Amino acid sequence: MTTRQVPRPGTRRASVSGWSGRTIMAVVVLVFVLFFAIPIVWLLLASTKSARGLLVDNPFAPGSLGGLTANSEALFGFGEGEVTTWVGNSALYAVGALVITLIASIPAGYAMALTRFRFRRLLLILTLVVMLIPNTALVLPIFLELNTVGLIGSPLSVILPMSFFPFGVYLTYIYFSTSIPRDLLAAARVDGCREFQVFTRIALPLAAPIVALVAFFSFVQSWNNFFLPFVMLPSSDGYPIQVGLTSLLASTPAFNPSSAGTQSIQLPTLALATVISVLPVLIVFLFSQRFLVAGMTAGGTKE
């Protein structure tokens, strides 16, 4: 790294330190703040408006509490309360997958970090490779597989594949290999702890931060998963809310003119559905920025 630059006479240096440079930066930042914030702000406001208000009022004028109530009545009255079922399904799938993910990944990450066994390195490399492929890439192959064993349509057809979460194992592996000294485990063994006790008495009590981190990533990923349940669950009773949104969209005359009928959904109701579909994740996200950095930079080699 050359940090010593001798400016030659006559070379012009680009500078953003001046007044104009700072103005340009401020404008760039402002444009992107608007780009990222406007859709979310607008969505929250839209869910409080009437169908007519959404079209004629100022887009950033808030609606009314009455509008919000009317929209939520319309939304939860859709079908025979299907939206409630879908939100419940989402919770079932995400929490079910979360529990199995934790049971599977925490011990696995621990063993890969602090014990030695055959196939350990193979399992580690496999974990890394699968962790970096997009989770949609295996969906159709898993469908074809589960189809032969007749699991399609069952909640297990989404919960089990979601529970296979190599990223969680990798995070746990990094955590245990960097934050627990091997000597501590060796001492426990000398004191007569069996392997299982070493894990439950020494490692697990120290694992709270990593359990929270893995739980965060697993929950967000499962809740937001679309392609897997879309493929695995043909019946609308089994939809999670992400897939349920497509049914609502299909019943919105503004986007699907052939759907005008008794079961039609107005735009503000669809906006409210969108808000509800992300609410748990949005709340988690508000408090989780440092989780993201901690998770994504785990094991990143230091410069």
Partner 1 sequence: MSYGFVALYAALTVAFGILPTLYAVYLAFTTGEGGFAGLDNFTKVIGDFRFLPAVGHVAFYLVIWLVSLVVLVTLLALVVHTIRWRWLSSTLRLVFYLPGALAGASSVLLWLFVLDPTASPVGGLLRFLGLDSFVQVIVPGNLPPIFAIIAFWTGAGGWIVIMYGALNNISLEVIEAARIDGAGPAQIAWRIQLPLLRKWISYMGIMSLAAGTQLFVEPQLLSQASNAVVPNDYSLNQLAYQYAFQQNDFNGAAAISLLLLVIALVLSAFFVMRGGLFETD
In the region spanning residues 69 to 128, those forming contacts with partner 1, defined by CB under 8 A, are 100, 103-105, 107-108, 110-112, 115-117, 120-121, 123-128
Any idea what the Cα angle at residue 126 is, between residues 185 and 231, rounded to 5°? 120
* Smallest separation, CB 155 to partner 1 (Å): 15
Q: Which stretch in 17-25, 72-80, 82-90, 184-192 sits in contact with partner 1 by CB under 8 A?
A: 17-25
Does residue 263 bind partner 1 (CB under 8 A)? no
Does residue 262 bind partner 1 (CB under 8 A)? no
- The answer for residues whose C-beta is within 8 angstroms of residue 58's C-beta and 6 or more apart is none
Does residue 8 bind partner 1 (CB under 8 A)? no
As a whole number of angstroms, the distance between CA 31 and CA 24 comes to 11
Q: How many CB atoms lie within 10 A of CB 73?
A: 11
Does residue 204 bind partner 1 (CB under 8 A)? no
Q: 261 in helix, strand or coil?
A: coil
Q: Return the residue of 52, 59, 73, 200 that touches partner 1, per CB under 8 A.
A: 59
* Smallest separation, CB 100 to partner 1 (Å): 8
Does residue 250 bind partner 1 (CB under 8 A)? yes
Does residue 187 bind partner 1 (CB under 8 A)? no
Q: 45 in helix, strand or coil?
A: helix
- The answer for residues whose C-beta is within 8 angstroms of residue 67's C-beta and 6 or more apart is 48, 49, 50, 53, 268
Q: How far is CA 173 from CA 113, 180, 182, in A?
A: 5, 11, 13
Query: Taking a C-beta distance cutoff of 8 angstroms, is the pair 197, 187 a contact?
Result: no
* Side-chain-side CA neighbours of residue 270 (13 Å): 19
Query: Taking a C-beta distance cutoff of 8 angstroms, is the pair 61, 79 a contact?
Result: no
Does residue 182 bind partner 1 (CB under 8 A)? no
- The answer for residues whose C-beta is within 8 angstroms of residue 179's C-beta and 6 or more apart is 206
Judged on CB neighbours under 10 Å (0-12, 13-18, 19+), 199 is: buried
Q: What is the largest CA-CA distance in the chain?
A: 78
Q: Return the residue of 29, 61, 206, 212 that touches partner 1, per CB under 8 A.
A: 29
Nearer to partner 1, 115 or 263 (CB): 115
Does residue 282 bind partner 1 (CB under 8 A)? yes
Q: Return the residue of 61, 140, 187, 260 that touches partner 1, per CB under 8 A.
A: 140
Does residue 11 bind partner 1 (CB under 8 A)? no
Does residue 201 bind partner 1 (CB under 8 A)? no
* Smallest separation, CB 201 to partner 1 (Å): 15
Does residue 190 bind partner 1 (CB under 8 A)? no
Does residue 260 bind partner 1 (CB under 8 A)? no
In the region spanning residues 142 to 181, those forming contacts with partner 1, defined by CB under 8 A, are 142-145, 147-148, 160-161, 163-164, 166, 169-170, 174, 177
Nearer to partner 1, 76 or 230 (CB): 230
Does residue 36 bind partner 1 (CB under 8 A)? yes
Q: Which stretch in 73-81, 181-189, 206-214, 237-245 sits in contact with partner 1 by CB under 8 A?
A: 237-245
